[in-house]
Structure formats: structure tokens, C-alpha cells
Structure 1
């Protein structure tokens, strides 16, 4: 019975002992000598490390990062993450374009030390120390090394003879109060390194311009850079053509910097150089700013040094003084985002030059957040990317948002626009955002930007307003001064910020940073009296957090009131009764603005728009359509499809057909419930449409048209995959169809003894149950479904599977579709059941559920009779003029459909279909057991539209074509498909966002 109190006391004692342990961190001083061979794209170097063990622990081994090995083959953590994120360049790279580090031979205090790579991580090695390193001990580590520089895939790399040298030398992992932190190189997910001094010498051809971490101590090089900075900008294109030959004479440059955690350098013979200086707030120290950029982008980079100077000024004011003597930005190729930061130098990707101000401010700002405060970027990415994005926004706002015309599109883009926030708001609206404080590798590629960067910045703005700007700034100043050149964790930041607030900040550090619940407040009741307005606010998210309500006169805030953190409902007192509007503060990152104000209502928009208004949005756009029967159709599309998405969505398009003078239309509406249980979401949806699908003029003057009206409610249950990085998703669909169809009856007219048509209407009801599984992995993605259908006269089982088998060529693959169907006649009415039989070639008359889009749904001749759908057998030769079409069956049908890309030929594929069905050889004496067709295919619009030309076919199809189209077989063999049934227009924003990100 005494064990529990004893254990509890022991835990308390250990906890108190740990909290009383003084802060410590290891010290690693680095000396590097390296030579660039720009013909072989190789670095040859020698490294010396002075490692001081300031920990209270005895070390018997250390971890060493060998990050160039991330580029060695396609099974490294980097390569696997690239694959998961849909990046294919490295996978298809030739071996000569990949990279590695070799020639290692570690000596520790002169003794050879063995090392071995950790499991599944060739870029992380463990070195067993020849002698244990006690607390306070010191050791000297040395090794030669060679680096094969890869073609640029991420950060380290080269583009011809432009070199981007980062994460390039053996580097010890951090050992801190939480233990060792060996981390593989990743593209999504940055770093954590020990702090110390760097002395680096770089030898390379003389005409390279070099920008590197720290200070160059070579006067001749400094004077040369000064002379380059004074040159006028080139006025012609000569500088842009080709690559200057490397000078045969070599030079050796020397760099030094203290209190940094990394060293990077960049070299290019083509750069334009510009130089300026600025004074650091508080200290008055002078900082030299360099910008190095390519001539082709000279106009965009004219203010490069201005942006660097502004960063030193504004971050210095809001955070703390810049401690180094130089700050540099260079233009190059860098595929890990728009730029990448290193101590005193940052590289800006050429693709980011259209938003240069924002990108330079962001990347230069990283000198404070991760550069000076060396947080663990892999485990707590928000502490550098998120905090830095917050100050980037403040800096760009202070500078005034520049509008930059992009050459490609010729439109103005406001680079400080809040539209970038929509990346987070969209994910939150569909419940796919993630908690901020977690390992960088856990995020989806979209969420790494949306949550780590943008969501964190939005939440920090909320915290700043809650604390008050002055107190927040004072807290950040103390945080900076206390933890500069150290390794702070989230609890360290909270401890300091809490000192500057008399209100608990747990809601931010313990709740906001660790939840994926979306923020949603709603105004409820309002009571006025005694000079105060009491506003009841509903917290619909359940996140324990405070809210601010603002009172407006016109566009100006005249009063505000805060609540304490709450989870359900709270009353906020606003010290005002004379106002025009009450509104939840725009500084709170509320996903649904439409319930934030007492001046809600409806806001009309044209075509489409964004959903950040305090009013519900309704958009109106023109609607166009065409089919053989209604002709051209014109109408209006009414919808609320926007970003962020609404839980209730609709799109309704009433139209008028000019051919028949009748109204037509289509529409859908849905409502989605989100859950954390078995299903991630449940969607109730109703689809409807009405068009004419047939016409006749037999023995009458004016054509008669047959219309269908379809109403199809459904419930879709999407399973919760839990791991958002998983490419797999499964769902169950329950769907009912109520379809009203006009049919033609032909009756004898006694007046002229002719059979004339009349319209009768029949009502059909069907049920559908389907299980879908889709795995959209980067290589060899696949999907399959099991479907059951039932009507009054039949039941049907459909099993379909699709897989794309990727070739070892980019964007080339073999596409395989397999199908099996089983039919059951349950109505004892063969004539009625025949409409639902299985079909090798699926055309308009087979689409009794009216799920597909057909131009001539009932056409038997002409161009529109050549439309097929890739359903059931998926064949490409329709035989509508046969009473019993080829491959039609009332028992079972099996088919396989193949499509293959052709190397070096875009948009064209080869196709082959083969199948069999019950009693195939007995149905017709001329029929074989197997049917087939094959030919060439043109695919367009993301495979939504395809055109097929069969060139080979089985005897059944061949006999049909020869008998029906003698002498015109080829032109009458051409068919096309329009596949739109799987596109859910109500979910278009999220699908479009995912497509644009790949």
C-alpha cells in the first residue's frame, strides 16, 4: 500500500531536480577546407570539429548527419517523402544527376573511429567514440570528405555551373536536455544543429561570384565585389546568353562567423551584385547588405538590398537587434519552397521573383527565427516558420504592399493580400487542417504551408491582440534576448510570454497549438444598457479560447470587449451603445465569417468569389448547354461554391432550350457533417436534372420530344483514415433514384391510317449501394469499387478496378481497368429487364440512371451515336443498329481495358479491350468466346474527353461495321467519350486546390 506514495514522491523529486538543472548546450566549432571541381560537379574537402560536452551526461557515441546521402538513391527518407508528396523528378533522375558524400575517415583525437549508418537512413551515421566523453570534456573530430553535387532537386545542388551548397558536410546531431536528435534530410521539414563558430576556406575558379555565411576576410575579393556593385545594369542580352567559361586560375576565399549553427555558400559566374548598408536599431552597428541576381531578373531585383535593410530595421524593432555584420540574398534554383535561409545568407528561387519583397523579407527574417534562436525546426516547425511568417506579415504591411505585375499573366497581384490565408481557411472548412505543434514530416504538403506558416501567423496575431501589442512586443524582446544563440522549446517561449501578461496564456500554448478544431464563433443575443452592450457569443468549435467583439461606426472601430477563454458560450461587454454594427474581431481567425456580425444577410457575386464576407455568398454565372434535342441552352447558374467551403453547398442551373422551346436544368445540393469517429464526414446530397433525351417526327409536322426528370438523393459515408498523409480513402454510398421518363406510344390515327406518336410517362425507382476505395499514391495509383443496383425488374452487381502502372519514364504509364458484372432477372418480365442487361459497349440507351452526359442520348446514327462511356465492358465499338448488340448479356460479363502512353508522343495512347460473357460462343454461330477491339486514342482535358479510332477488332464487330457502313468503316469506327460523372462540382474548390498543388 505504500508503493504509490513512494513512487509519487520519487517522481516529484525527479521533476524538481530536472527543473532545477541549469540550462546547457553543446558547443561545436567547425573548420572546413573545400575545393570545387566544376567540371565533375564535385567537392573535395577536409573538416575539423572541436566538440565540447557541456551536458551533465557522459557521451559514448555521437550521431553525425551525412545529408548529401539523401540524394544517393530512391529509398532514402528524402526520396520517399518526395514520392509521397507527388514530386517525381528525383525518382526519374539518372544516377549521374544524383549525389552523395564519400571518402570519410573519422579520427577522434587522432584515433580512428568507426561509424555505421542508422537503419533506413543512409544520411545519418552513429560514431562510436574510442573513449567516453565526460561532462565538460572536449574532443577533436576530423575527416576528409567528397561530395558528388546532385542536380538541383531540393536544396543542395547545381544547375550546370551555378552551385547551391548547403547541408553539404558531416555535421553532428544536436544533443540537448531532451536527448539526441538525429534527423534524416527531408525536403518538407528543416533542421536542428549545434551552435558554434565556423572558419571556412573555399577554392574555386577565379571568376565565380560567391555569397556565403559570415564575413569574407580577403580584401581582394571584397574590392572585386565592390567594383561589381558599382557596374551599371547590363542594357542588352549578351549577359544572358550561355555560361561564361571558368577561369583557369583558382582562388581561395576565407570566411568566418561566430554563434551560428550552419554554413552555406552559393556560387555563380553570371550574377549582378548590388551592395548597401544599414544601421541596426538599439546597437547602431552597421550591416552590409548584398543582393546577387541574374541579369534576366534585374528589374525585379533592383530593390533587393532595400528589402534586406527593411528586414534588419523592422525585425530589429519588434524582436531584437541583428548581431551579424552582413546580410545577403541570392537568386538561384531552389526547389524546397520559394527560398531557403542560412545564417547571414538566403537563396531565393527564381520562380519566386514575382513576389520578391515578401520572399526576401521572409527568408532574411529567418536569421532571427532559427538563425539566432536555434529551435528544433523538425519537431516544432511553427517556432521558426510560423513566428517568422507573423513578422513577415507585419514587415510587409509596414512597407506597404507592393503590387507586382507578373509577366506571364499581365495582372496585378497584391503580394500582401489576405488571400494566402485561404490556404488554411479552406483546409479548416473541410476539416483537413492539422494541429500546429507536431513534427514537420506529419503534415500534408498543403498543410505544411497552410498550418505551419499561415495558421500559426494568424493565431499569433490573435495572441498579440489578446495580450496587447505593447506587452506582446515586450515579451518577444525578452524571449529573443534570453534565448538568442540557444535552443528554446515551446515551454520556454510560454514561460517568458506569460511574464508579460496577467492573464493565463494556456489557451494558446496548450490548446490552440495542439488542436485541429476549427475556430468558429457566432453572435447570438445582444442587450444594451448603462452605456454597455452585452453580447452573447457562441463558441461552436469547443476550443478553449477568448473572443473579442468590436463595435463599429461606419468602417471604424469605436469600442471593443474581450471575454476570458471559454468553450461553450460567453457574454462579452462592449463599452458602447452608439454604434452601427457589432462584429467578432477580424484579428480572430474565424473560419466562418457569415455568423460573426449582427449585420449578416446575403451578398450577391458574379461568376465566383472568395468566402470571407460577414454575409452569406450567392454567385450568379451564365450557364450553357447543348444536346441533340434541346439544342443550345442558355440560363443562369446559381451557386455558393467558394473558398472556404460551406457545409451546405448548392449549384442550380435552370436553362432554356432554343431547339424545342422548353426549360431544362441541372442541379445539386449537399450538407456535410464532420466527425472524428469511424467516418471523417457524412454527406447528404440531392442531385437532379431534366432534359429531353429523344425525339420523333414520324408522321407528324412538329417534332415530339421525350423528357426525363431525375431526382437522386444519396448518403456518402467517408471513412476516417486518421493519417492525413495517407493517399487512401474509402467510402460507402447509399443512393436512390426517382426517374420520370416520357416514352413514345404509336397509335393508329383513323383520319389518315398512319401511326402517330404520343407521350406517356413512366416512373422508375432504383436503389444503389457502393463501396469505393481509392489510393492516389504517386506511383501506380489504383482504385476499386463494389456496387449493387436494384430495380423492380432486375438486380445487378458491378465490380470494377483501375490501376495506373507507371513506366520508368515521366508521365508515361499503362492504364488497366478490369470489370466483372452479374445480372439477375427478378421481375419475371424479360422484356422489361432487357433494358438493364450488361453491355460490352456502354452507350446512351444503357444509361438508365442518367448519370452520364450524352449529346445524343438515344441517337442511333450520326456523329452523336458514336459516344460511349467507359462503364461495364468499356469497349469502343457501339452496335446500336443490331436488335441484340454485340456483347449484351443477361447473366455475366467480364472485360479488361488497357491504355498505354507512347514515349515522346503526347496526348496519344494505344488501347486494347478484351472480354467474354456467359454463353458467348452459343449466342450466335459466328460469335467467338472472346471479343476484342484495339486502336489509337486521343485524350484531352485531364482525360475527361477521349477520341478513339479502333484499328483491330474481333469478327463480331468487324461484321457489323462492314454490313452497316460498307466502304466507310474507318470514319464510322471513330467514337468519343465524355467522362464527367465522377466530378463532384460541389467539391470543386478542394479538388482544384489539390490539383494545383501537384
Structure 2
């Protein structure tokens, strides 16, 4: 036998050994579409490829993650402010029922892991030694859930299955168990699959595995796959999949739109594959399977600008960008085995970086507003000038400026939804663009290729990439793999000073924050780069000298190569003039322009009974990415009172990094309007608002402590003297803790007021419980007490059904009205009663009340209230009422229809005057109602 022949035999033998050590999974599954069930007989050949003797085996059983409301996935839905699954019917949920489970054809003990119903633990009868294998046989039934929960399950036309079968847990320094949290991040070893799946003839079956046989008589389809880690099955009455035959490989997808010619789509995909291959290397498989549900699930839709129906972009652009994103995901996911729950940033970063580079090469001039950037009235805005690749820096800054960003090595299940789907991906991608310019394009690209080639179809992590990259450059990258990846520290530099000499410039660069990273210095003239240099080691301040070279402006990060906390202070004229940037006035809001100090103005329209229609203009310094220092000035003209009115506010936001305090806002505000016919008021209020950090960024609650001095000066009628109710000062301390859970909501507030003639304390505690989509229970307790009260009258007293709002903090249309439509406006305060009694009722010593409501159908509720009020030197008085609440939008649009009170039934000829209403014009309240669960 010659040497070549012997070598070939040895190679074949080695490959056989290698394949024999790969797990094998055989499945026979039968779909019962009338009951939405899969009957499964599964055999797993599990190889112990570790150096550890195993006494138990773990299996992921994610099909059981939707079994009930107590699974980790069900709790995750509630964290995400989604109640659909919680209130769903049992027939919509999904589960696994195991009939029999054997190891080496013998019975074994197995059970669900406590509090993790989608993980099975099997106790082996005989220990499994390294390099040995066992055969696990399971007979079970999967109840397929409705696809509306996770996108996987029963659809309108069929079934889309993912994570539907039992899979061995990866053993890597211990068992890497993970419950399904709707992140599509199951960590699996590769396996060789042989699957027979049968379904009624009405369905077509597609998969990411190879279709080897379809028997029309038995309606059984056979799929096989070698070295595959995830099996997706589509069983549908409509064949939605199209195969595109590109020059590189076959692409099977259901993402093809009706308006797109398949030949055009093939050319686009072929170009995308060539581009990805240039950065990563060849895709090892003959076919790529891209399904809409899997690739589009954990990303935000329509991130390319305006809605699709406006058609702002070049033909096919939106589809091409989405498909490139999907193709990149599959290119990486099918080949690289990451534990994406622990180590996701590398894959996300490569994916985003490739998108940036693709747009840079083929669509460098496309803006985020598309063709509308050139329209009159829009083209003057700075936002119209932002290119597609500018959105990454912008979105990162939006999150970082609010300190909502998180480190890239934070576990994926601990990220907020906005960070997981967008911000962290953008920061990782921008990091690679940063490295590309700093260390060189070829070094980064070659590192990608080597990492992709060396780690195909075997477990890997970002540490392996770090080793490859750092071996190819002499530049120190500790800042990148340290602070940039492992912390939420921000990059933020500014040019502090410029000193001119005869032939050079001495430039002092200041590091405004705690992260030290390379900074790019530019010399610019007429927006053209004349000079560029990377500066390192600026941990505090650093002065460098550069030659004059025909430029009149200096800039840091001019090309926006790296994500920076604030890039608006990166410019400075070489002559070091005092007015570094001129002022620019812009209508409404705009994104910041680094060349100008921007001021924004917008019309302000309000209404109240005494001022009439209030017309004015708001002037502020609040771009889309707000500054720490904010001011707002709103001069108005009131058409009814014929007077100038308005308000103002100045504040500074001081953010904290490591303390329990999120931020402290110091400020002052004031206003001037009318509170009665021809009678105005002036309000002046310095304040300090301490907002505490949430337990995590996934927590939607809020906690704050507000301290303020409120100065009120009211006009009085000519025939009356100024009293304590017309000119007064109150020191107010208020603490609010709110937890707006989607099923159980709890909030409490503590309030203290110190006036000239009184001291009072009160508490407001609220609880709301949702029983199903149409039924709920709401409870509020109010308690208030005067420690001392020397005031006259009831102006500062606790009210039963209305308060005097002497702090002027409620948006009341007719605050002094005792009759008529505007007197019927309702604001939850003090006793919280809704009925209009024959006279207003107050308490100058003690007040307690309980307000409750029960939902009976949709937005219709029944409310019941009870209260006890006590005045000085009088016996307590008790009150009660009930009625119907039309709760269309909670705290925004409601109506109260009283039925019965202490005064008897409320139905009479004047019943319409007893109806109370809630209508808010507060943009913040409406915005917060919409945004819950999105960030």
C-alpha cells in the first residue's frame, strides 16, 4: 500500500470517528391539525465529549415553555408589559406531555427543573464516562401554541415550528441550561438529524434541512441534516417559500415580496452574498434557509426611516436592507456556535458592521428621510441631512444621554428591550467601525475571516476573536475589550484650548468622562478634511502641537467613527474666538447641528375659561437629544383676558453613574395665568427633583423625591383685602414610588406641606389588578392629617370631591367654577369622590377615603367609594357613593356617571350636570401610556 493510499484511508477513518462523536437525533412526528398537536417519537444518541463523568443529562424542552402562567417565559411576557399570554385561553397555550422516556431502553428517573418547566433533568442509572454514548428515547406529545405569542406555533394558514423538540443541553464547564425567554438564543450543539414528519395532504412542508423524500401516499416528508444545530419546520396550506438560485448557493425564503421580480431579487441576493463572503469567507452549506418569523423577531421594524407606504427610498431599497440584515444573521447563526445569552456582542457587532459597510458602498447618499430630505420645509432641517449610517450614532446617543445604555457583556436576558434589539447592536457595530479606522481596514477584515474559518460548527466565544485580532496589531486594544465592551462608560472629549504660534497650533484636548480611548483630531475647511490624526492617552488633558495646514476649524470625531456621548462640543475655530459657533433658530425640534448653537421655537396653544384661547410661542434649547441644561420660555397672549400670560422653566440634569440615584434635576419654574374672571396669579417655584434608579433597566417603575418651594401671588377683587389664601409660600416634599406592572400595578405617594399657618401630611396608595382582558379591580386609599392648622376657611383643607389645587399643578379648564361644564372636570385628589354634592365638603383636621372600581366589561366599570372626614371640634362624618365609570383610556379619557350617594339616587332632571369627566392634554402622560413595554 503506497503512502497516499494509506493517508487517504487514515483521513476517511478519522472523519468517521469524528462524525460518530456527533450527536444524532431521529424524529418521527405526526401532525394532528384538528387538535394542534404533534405526536413525536424521538431518539437521541448523546456523546459525552467532555472530560467529566456524567451522572445526569439535561434536555431543553422549550415546547413546554408556554404551558402555563408560571413558566419563565410567561413571567418574561409580563416583564415586557405584554398581557396577551397571561389572559389567553388554555387552548391557545402550548405544552409537552411525555408518555415515556428511556435511556439505553431502560426506565430512568426524570423531572422538570424547579421553576424551569422547559428543562428536563434525567438521572442516569449508569454513569456516562468520557467518549462514551447513550441512547435516549422519548415518546411525547407537543400541544402547539398560537403563534401570536412568539411567532412560532399555529398561524392563520398552518404551523411554523421552532424549538419544538427535545435537545440535549450543552456541557461546557457545567451544564449550560437556559429557559426560553423569547430571545431565540437556545445554545445547542450540532447534531445529525433524520426527521420524518407527516401531515394532512392539504399542507406543504418546508425546512432548513434537506428534503430527501416525500411519500404522497402517506403524506410523510423526510428531512436530513448533517452538523446542524437548529431545525425549523414550516407546515402551511400556502407554499410561501421561494428558492433563489444565486451563483454562490441556493437561498430558500418566504421574505420575497409580491412587487419584486424574482430575477431582480436573485441579483440583489447574489450581490449581498458576495459582499458578506468578502468579509467573512465562504458559506459552507449548499442552501441558506431564511424564514420571516425567525430573522425578523428580535429586531425593530422599519428602522430605515419613513413608513413603507410613503415610498421615500430608491426602488427595492427597503427590501434589500431587510434581506441583507436577515442574510447576515443566518450566515453567522448557521456556522458559529455562540452562547448568545452570555456572549452576543460579537455576532451582533459583525452583523451591524456589515450593514454599515454595505450601505457605505452601495447607498452612501441615501438619507434617513429618503427623497423627502429634498422637499421644501424639510430640507433646511439637520435631520434631513442625516445619512442612513448616521442613525447608529444618533440612536446610541439617544440612549446614552439618558444613561439607558448597558455594557455589551451584560447577559442578554438582563438587557432592556430597546438595548437588546437596537442600542447594544449599534454600539457593537460602531465599535468595529472604530477599530477599522484606528488599526486598519485589512487587519479587521482578516481577523473576521480567520475567526469565521477557524470556528465553524464548534462552540466559540468573543475571547477567541480577541486573541486573533490582538495578534495582528501592535496597537494596544485594552480600552476596547475593557471599558468599551465591559462597561457603560462613555467616550466624550472636547477641544479645551487652541494656541496659535507662527507656524503651528497647540491644542489641548480634554477628556470629559472616565473612559480613555483613542480620539481622532481633524483639521477642516469648508467641511473638507485637510488633516487627520489619532491621539491616544488622553485620560485627563493632553496638549499636542500640529502644523498649520490650510484649515480654519478643528474637530474631534468629525467622521463620527465612534459613538460619543456628546459630539456637539467637538468643534473649535483655530483663532480660538469666544463665539465658537453662531446661534441658529429652528422651528420645532431638530437633531443637533455641531456647527451652531441651536434654539427651537414652536407655536403654543392652550385654553382655559378665563384666558380663553391662549396663543403663544415656546422657545427652548431642547433638540431631539436633550442637553443637561434645559430652558423653556413660553410667552402667550390670552384672547379673552387680553393679557400677556405664559410660563418658564430652567433646569440642570445631573446624572449619577454608580449611586442609587439616577439623576438630580435642579431648577426653577414659574407661570402666570388667570384663575378667575379678570383675576390672575403668579407662581414661582425653585425645586430639586431626585429620581432614583430602577432595580434594572427592565424595570418599568419609577421612584422620585421632589422638594420645592412654591410662591403664589394672586390678584384679589378690588373690594376685598389680601388674605392668607391670596399670597402664600408652601414648602412641599413629595415621594412617589410607582410599579406599573401590566397585571398588578402598585403605587404609593407620601406628601408633606409646610405652610405659613399649617402643616399637613398625606398618603395616596393605589393598587390595580387585571383578571382578564375585560375585567379588573382598582383600589385607592387616601389618608391625610393636619399636624397644626391655624388657617381660616377651607382653602387649604382636604376635599371630598374636589380640592382647591392651591399649588396650581393641575391642568384645570375652569378652576374656580362651582357650576357648569368646567366644574365637572375631575382630577383624582384627596377624597377622590366623583359625585357633585349639594355643597363642597372639606376637612380641616383628618380625612380618609377608599375608592374602588371593578371592571365588568371592556371599558365599563362600577365604582364604590367610602370616606370619613373630621373637622376640628366636630364629630367625624361618613360618606359613600357608587356609579359607573367609562374608562376609555385610564387617566387620560374617562367619564363618571353617579348612581347613588348619601343624598340618595342621583337620577333627576339635572343629571347631566352631575357627570364628571377626565380629559388630559398632558403630552407626557399620553406618551408614557404609549411607550410602556417598548423600552
Q: Same fold (TM over 0.5)?
A: yes
**Shift in Å, 1:27:** 3.3
Alignment match, 1:590: 564
Partner-residue secondary structure (3-state), 1:437: coil
- The 2-side partners of 1:213 and 1:457 are apart by 28
**Shift in Å, 1:939:** 4.2
**Shift in Å, 1:600:** 4.0
Partner-residue secondary structure (3-state), 2:165: coil
**Residue 298 (structure 1) aligned to one of 241, 247, 258:** 258
Residue 800 of structure 2 corresponds to residue 840 of structure 1: yes
CA distance 1:921–1:742, shift in 2 (3 Å): closer
- The 1-side partners of 2:429 and 2:78 are apart by 29
CA distance 1:313–1:436, shift in 2 (3 Å): same
Partner-residue secondary structure (3-state), 2:513: coil
Alignment match, 2:666: 684
Residue 870 of structure 2 corresponds to residue 918 of structure 1: yes
Q: What is the CA deviation profile of residues 148-186 of structure 1, one whole-angstrom value per residue up to 9, with x for unaligned ones?
A: 11111114311144211111111011112x332011111
**Shift in Å, 1:207:** 4.5
Residue 635 of structure 2 corresponds to residue 654 of structure 1: yes
CA distance 1:893–1:663, shift in 2 (3 Å): same
Partner-residue secondary structure (3-state), 2:454: helix
**Shift in Å, 1:917:** 0.9
Partner-residue secondary structure (3-state), 2:38: strand
CA distance 1:30–1:853, shift in 2 (3 Å): same
Partner-residue secondary structure (3-state), 2:491: coil
Alignment match, 1:994: 931
Alignment match, 1:288: 250
CA distance 1:486–1:973, shift in 2 (3 Å): same
Alignment match, 1:426: 398
- The 1-side partners of 2:775 and 2:631 are apart by 37
- The 2-side partners of 1:848 and 1:313 are apart by 69
Q: What is the CA deviation profile of residues 586-628 of structure 1, one whole-angstrom value per residue up to 9, with x for unaligned ones?
A: 1111121211222645443222233475544422110112222
**Shift in Å, 1:516:** 1.4
**Residue 142 (structure 2) aligned to one of 138, 147, 163:** 147
**Shift in Å, 1:432:** 2.0
- The 1-side partners of 2:728 and 2:19 are apart by 77
**Shift in Å, 1:796:** 1.4
- The 1-side partners of 2:781 and 2:481 are apart by 52
Residue 702 of structure 2 corresponds to residue 729 of structure 1: yes
**Shift in Å, 1:368:** 3.3
- The 2-side partners of 1:139 and 1:376 are apart by 25
1:617-696 equivalence runs, <5 A? 617-675=598-656, 676-695=658-677
Partner-residue secondary structure (3-state), 1:835: coil
Residue 875 of structure 2 corresponds to residue 894 of structure 1: no
Alignment match, 2:279: 318
CA distance 1:134–1:506, shift in 2 (3 Å): same
CA distance 1:529–1:30, shift in 2 (3 Å): farther
**Shift in Å, 1:388:** 1.8
Q: What is the CA deviation profile of residues 62-89 of structure 1, one whole-angstrom value per residue up to 9, with x for unaligned ones?
A: 2111111101111111111111111111
**Shift in Å, 1:470:** 1.5
**Shift in Å, 1:919:** 5.9
Alignment match, 2:350: 387
1:258-273 equivalence runs, <5 A? 258-273=226-241
Alignment match, 1:98: 93
**Shift in Å, 1:95:** 1.0
- The 1-side partners of 2:933 and 2:591 are apart by 17
Residue 110 of structure 2 corresponds to residue 120 of structure 1: no
CA distance 1:390–1:638, shift in 2 (3 Å): same
Q: Unaligned 5+ residue runs, structure 2?
A: 1-17, 302-308, 310-315, 379-383, 573-579
CA distance 1:66–1:895, shift in 2 (3 Å): same
Tell me the TM-score normalized by structure 2: 0.87
Partner-residue secondary structure (3-state), 2:100: coil
Residue 83 of structure 2 corresponds to residue 88 of structure 1: yes
Residue 207 of structure 2 corresponds to residue 212 of structure 1: yes
Partner-residue secondary structure (3-state), 2:571: coil
CA distance 1:946–1:207, shift in 2 (3 Å): closer
1:127-166 equivalence runs, <5 A? 127-152=122-147, 153-166=149-162
Q: Unaligned 5+ residue runs, structure 1?
A: 1-22, 222-247, 281-286, 341-349, 696-704, 748-756
- The 2-side partners of 1:953 and 1:909 are apart by 17
1:402-441 equivalence runs, <5 A? 416=388, 418-419=390-391, 422-441=394-413
Residue 807 of structure 2 corresponds to residue 849 of structure 1: yes
Q: What is the CA deviation profile of residues 466-524 of structure 1, one whole-angstrom value per residue up to 9, with x for unaligned ones?
A: 22212111111111112122222222111001112211211111211111123322222
- The 2-side partners of 1:278 and 1:580 are apart by 51
Partner-residue secondary structure (3-state), 2:798: coil
- The 2-side partners of 1:443 and 1:623 are apart by 38
Partner-residue secondary structure (3-state), 2:353: helix
- The 2-side partners of 1:54 and 1:575 are apart by 62
- The 2-side partners of 1:25 and 1:824 are apart by 82
Aligned residues: 882
**Shift in Å, 1:253:** 2.4
- The 1-side partners of 2:889 and 2:645 are apart by 26
Choose 640-649 or 789-798, whichever is displaced more.
Answer: 640-649
CA distance 1:616–1:490, shift in 2 (3 Å): farther
- The 2-side partners of 1:615 and 1:48 are apart by 68
Alignment match, 2:298: 337
Partner-residue secondary structure (3-state), 1:744: coil
CA distance 1:556–1:645, shift in 2 (3 Å): same
**Shift in Å, 1:39:** 2.0
**Shift in Å, 1:339:** 9.3
- The 2-side partners of 1:742 and 1:93 are apart by 58
Partner-residue secondary structure (3-state), 2:854: strand
- The 2-side partners of 1:41 and 1:339 are apart by 30
1:352-501 equivalence runs, <5 A? 355-400=318-363, 416=388, 418-419=390-391, 422-501=394-473
CA distance 1:103–1:601, shift in 2 (3 Å): same
Partner-residue secondary structure (3-state), 1:795: strand
Residue 865 of structure 2 corresponds to residue 865 of structure 1: no
Contact 1:289–1:309 at 8 Å: present in 2 too?
A: no
Residue 736 of structure 2 corresponds to residue 772 of structure 1: yes
- The 1-side partners of 2:932 and 2:321 are apart by 25
Contact 2:367–2:387 at 8 Å: present in 1 too?
A: yes
Residue 763 of structure 2 corresponds to residue 805 of structure 1: no
Contact 1:215–1:325 at 8 Å: present in 2 too?
A: no
Alignment match, 1:738: 711
Alignment match, 2:247: 279
CA distance 1:596–1:529, shift in 2 (3 Å): same
- The 1-side partners of 2:798 and 2:682 are apart by 24
CA distance 1:331–1:443, shift in 2 (3 Å): closer
Contact 2:39–2:142 at 8 Å: present in 1 too?
A: yes
CA-atom RMSD in angstroms: 3.5
Contact 1:429–1:518 at 8 Å: present in 2 too?
A: no
Q: What is the CA deviation profile of residues 926-975 of structure 1, one whole-angstrom value per residue up to 9, with x for unaligned ones?
A: xx9422233233445652243333222212x87xx89xxxx742122123
Q: What is the CA deviation profile of residues 22-59 of structure 1, one whole-angstrom value per residue up to 9, with x for unaligned ones?
A: x9997323233322222222222232333333322222
**Shift in Å, 1:710:** 0.3
Residue 781 of structure 2 corresponds to residue 818 of structure 1: yes
Residue 507 of structure 2 corresponds to residue 538 of structure 1: no
Alignment match, 1:12: none
1:35-114 equivalence runs, <5 A? 35-103=30-98, 105-114=100-109
**Shift in Å, 1:123:** 0.9
Partner-residue secondary structure (3-state), 1:803: strand
Choose 888-897 or 908-917, whichever is displaced more.
Answer: 908-917
- The 2-side partners of 1:41 and 1:113 are apart by 29
Tell me the TM-score normalized by structure 1: 0.82
Alignment match, 2:912: 971
- The 2-side partners of 1:804 and 1:611 are apart by 41
Alignment match, 1:19: none
- The 2-side partners of 1:984 and 1:468 are apart by 46
Residue 532 of structure 2 corresponds to residue 554 of structure 1: no
- The 2-side partners of 1:596 and 1:403 are apart by 23
